[in-house]
Every structure is written in C-alpha cells, then in structure tokens.
C-alpha cells in the first residue's frame, strides 16, 4: 500500500487514508475513533453556509471538534460565493484549518437548490466559489463527483475549474449523481482527474477493504483514498491500511463510542442518536437482528451496554 503524506497548502497530513464527510455519522466521536485507528484526515459532515450565517443551533452542534484532530476540516455546502466566504469568516468556522466544499451531494433537497452535485453543471460558478472562499486565507479543498448523469462525465473540466479557483486538494467520488452510492467506482474518470490535476487527488468510492484501496490507487494513480461506508462499519480499516496489527473488541469499541458521545449529549439523546451507528457496528454479527430490535427500544445507555455485555459474552 502506497502510504504517503499529503500537502494541503502549508499543512501536511500524517498519511493519505482519509475518513469521508458523512451526514449523520462523521461527528467528533466517529472522527476521534478513526483518528485513533490511524486515519490521516477526517471531515465534519456537510454544513449549510446559510445555516451558519443564520446562527442555526443545530449547525453549531455539527461543528463540534476533538483535540485529537491535528488538522481540523469542516465541509460546507452552498452556491453563493459571498455567503460561503462570509460563513468561513464567521466564528463557527474560525477554529477549522481546512474548509472542504461539497460538489457531490446528490440529495434532491440540496440538488434542487442548485447546491452540492448541481454545481457540477456549472463549473464557472464552482470556480468563483472556490476563488471567493480562498480569499479567507484558509486552504480550500473540494469533494466532487464525476458528473450528474452516467456517461456524461465532467471530471476533467470540473477539476480544471476548481483548481483554477484555488482548490488545494480534490477528492473525486468516482460515481455520477444518478448512481447515488451504487456500483463500482469509475476508475478511468478518477485517473483522468489525476492526469489534469496539479494538486493532490484523493479517490473515493467503494473502498471496504485494504485490497479495494490498493486497486483504487493502482488503477487511478490517485495520491490517497477516502473511505465512507467502509469506515462506519469497520473504523479499524485505517489500521489495516497502515499495516498495523490490531485486535478489535467490538464491545469495548461500542462502549467507548457511547462514552465519547456522553461527554457532549445527555444519556437519552445518546441512546437514540447512536442507534444507526450501532446497527452498522453489529452488521454481520450472528443473530444480531433480534438484538437490534431490542436495543432500539432502550432509551438509556446503561440498558444498551448491559444487553451488549450479554450478547458479546
Ligand atoms: C449516510 C451518508 C452520508 C453522507 N454525507 C456526506 C456529506 O455530508 N458530505 C459529502 O461530501 N459526502 C457525503 N456522503 C458521501 C460519502 O462521503 C462518499 O462520497 C460516498 O459514500 C462514497 O464512498 P463509499 O463508497 O466509501 O461509501 C455521504 C454518504 C452516506 C452513505
């Protein structure tokens, strides 16, 4: 596995294996866990620039960071260059070292608003956004898809545009918007991005094992990989990529995850918000369907922990 450091402007990451921004999942606790397993960089989930400027409480919560993050990256979305620059200049984002711009979100609510992946159809506006955001002095990175509709790829032109705007690193999710998260990533398009780019290219899509990551780097020439769903199910994938021998005790991992969340939220909130992540941790465990049903009725973390104690005996 080709391990190397990545330069983002004046900053240098520990390695080239990154945790993706994941709405509803890549909060401070998940980012801490992935960093402890060795992730080279992590990102907050996408936050709305308008939400930031309108002082939305929920947005503030999403931007909670951990001291473990040596380089703090927030991902933002929007479509108005000035509003986006002002959001970066606001106190909400002042503690972040890197700002990543979302040019990939496929969800109708975002897309129909001309944000996320909709901007793939408007490279000149995307360039303006990156240019305006770069005026803040913070390194701006971008995460893009390879097009909106399969077969109609925009990769090279879009990479050139955002690079021209000042992007310091570009993550390419090798799928079009209409594929959402399904199917094999298009290695050829990511390879094209790498050919036209002068900044680091990080490849994303369909990496669930070390072998997937090796294939991705080999076939695209990308400088690094970004892992999303694979890391939610198996955050220790970063240790595997680094060749670090670890033994994973799921019960300890889950209990530790709950304890991290309890430093920020009250017990009932944790019991409820942790359910979807718990489901992913239990994926593949024998007889876990019944367990999940039971766990989902609990509204306190002690009951969840007791149930897991019995399950993992
Ligand atoms: C539940 C979920 C939430 C996501 N949230 C974001 C997000 O906030 N920002 C973003 O750029 N991509 C987001 N993505 C896309 C992932 O970062 C990634 O590009 C995609 O899942 C492909 O990678 P994978 O095949 O490793 O999962 C999300 C994906 C999922 C499944």
Structural domain including 259 reads 250-311
Looking at the structure, tell me whether residues 18 and 130 fall in a common domain.
yes
Question: What's residue 1's pLDDT?
Answer: 64
Give the separation between CA 186 and CA 169, rounded to whole angstroms: 19
Catalytic annotation present for 49: no
Given a cut of 70, the residues of the chain with pLDDT beneath it are 1
DSSP 140: E
Looking at the structure, tell me whether residues 288 and 144 fall in a common domain.
no
With contact defined as beta carbons under 8 Å apart, do 106 and 148 qualify? no
- Full DSSP string of 144-155: EESEEETTEE-H
Ligand 1 atom closest to the Cα of residue 205 is: 25
Is 2 within the bounds of a domain?
Answer: no
Looking at the structure, tell me whether residues 222 and 183 fall in a common domain.
yes
Looking at the structure, tell me whether residues 218 and 307 fall in a common domain.
no
Is 286 within the bounds of a domain?
Answer: yes
Domain boundary among 242, 266, 299: 242
Question: What's residue 238's pLDDT?
Answer: 98
**3-class DSSP assignment, residue 16:** coil
Looking at the structure, tell me whether residues 83 and 225 fall in a common domain.
yes
Looking at the structure, tell me whether residues 219 and 130 fall in a common domain.
yes
Count CB-CB contacts under 10 A for residue 269: 14
Pocket test for ligand 1, best of 174, 181, 241, 276 (most atoms within 8 A of CB): 181
With contact defined as beta carbons under 8 Å apart, do 177 and 198 qualify? no
Looking at the structure, tell me whether residues 59 and 187 fall in a common domain.
yes
Q: Pocket residues for ligand 1 (CB within 6 Å)?
A: 20-25, 45-46, 75, 102, 104-105, 143, 173, 181, 204-207, 227-230
Looking at the structure, tell me whether residues 157 and 290 fall in a common domain.
no
Report which of 132, 120, 56, 69 is spatially closest to residue 96, judged by C-alpha positions: 69
Looking at the structure, tell me whether residues 116 and 259 fall in a common domain.
no
Looking at the structure, tell me whether residues 260 and 206 fall in a common domain.
no
How many domains would you assign to the chain?
A: 2
Cα-to-centroid distance, 21 and ligand 1 (Å): 6
- 49, 105, 133, 142: the catalytic one is 105
**b or e along 271-283 (b: 16 or more beta carbons within 10 Å of the residue's beta carbon)?**
beebeebbeebbe
Dihedral over alpha carbons 129, 162, 238, 285 (to 10 degrees): 70
Cα-to-centroid distance, 127 and ligand 1 (Å): 22
pTM over 0.85: yes
Nearest CA to ligand 1 atom 19: 173
Looking at the structure, tell me whether residues 77 and 185 fall in a common domain.
yes
Give how far the C-alpha of residue 148 lies from the chain's centroid of Cα atoms, to the nearest Å: 20
């Amino acid at each position: 596995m080709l391990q190397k450091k990545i330069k983002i402007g004046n900053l240098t990451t520990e390695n080239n294996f990154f945790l993706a921004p994941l709405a509803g999942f890549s909060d401070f606790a998940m980012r801490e866990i992935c960093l402890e397993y060795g992730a080279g960089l992590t990102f907050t989930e996408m936050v709305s620039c308008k939400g930031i400027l309108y002082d939305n409480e929920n947005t503030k919560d999403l931007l909670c960071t951990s001291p473990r993050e040596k380089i703090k990256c927030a991902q933002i979305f929007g479509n108005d260059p000035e509003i986006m620059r002002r959001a970066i200049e606001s106190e909400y984002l002042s503690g972040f070292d890197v700002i990543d711009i979302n040019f990939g979100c496929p969800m109708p609510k975002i897309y129909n608003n001309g944000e996320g992946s909709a901007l793939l159809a408007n490279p000149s506006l995307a360039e303006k956004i990156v240019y305006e955001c770069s005026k803040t002095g913070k390194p701006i990175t971008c995460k893009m898809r390879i097009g909106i509709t399969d077969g109609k790829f925009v990769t090279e032109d879009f990479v050139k545009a955002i690079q021209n705007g000042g992007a310091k690193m570009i993550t390419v999710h090798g799928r079009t918007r209409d594929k959402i998260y399904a199917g094999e990533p298009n290695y050829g398009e990511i390879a094209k991005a790498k050919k036209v780019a002068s900044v680091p290219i990080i490849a994303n899509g369909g990496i669930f094992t070390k072998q997937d990551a090796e294939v991705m780097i080999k076939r695209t020439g990308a400088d690094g990989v970004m892992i999303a769903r694979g890391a939610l199910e198996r955050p220790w994938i970063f240790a595997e990529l680094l060749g670090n021998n670890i033994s994973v005790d799921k019960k300890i991992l889950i209990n530790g995850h709950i304890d991290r969340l309890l430093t920020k939220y009250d017990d009932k909130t944790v019991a409820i918000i942790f359910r979807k992540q718990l489901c992913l941790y239990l994926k593949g465990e024998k007889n876990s369907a019944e367990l999940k049903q039971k766990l989902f009725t609990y509204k306190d973390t002690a009951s969840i922990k007791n149930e897991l104690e019995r399950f993992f005996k």
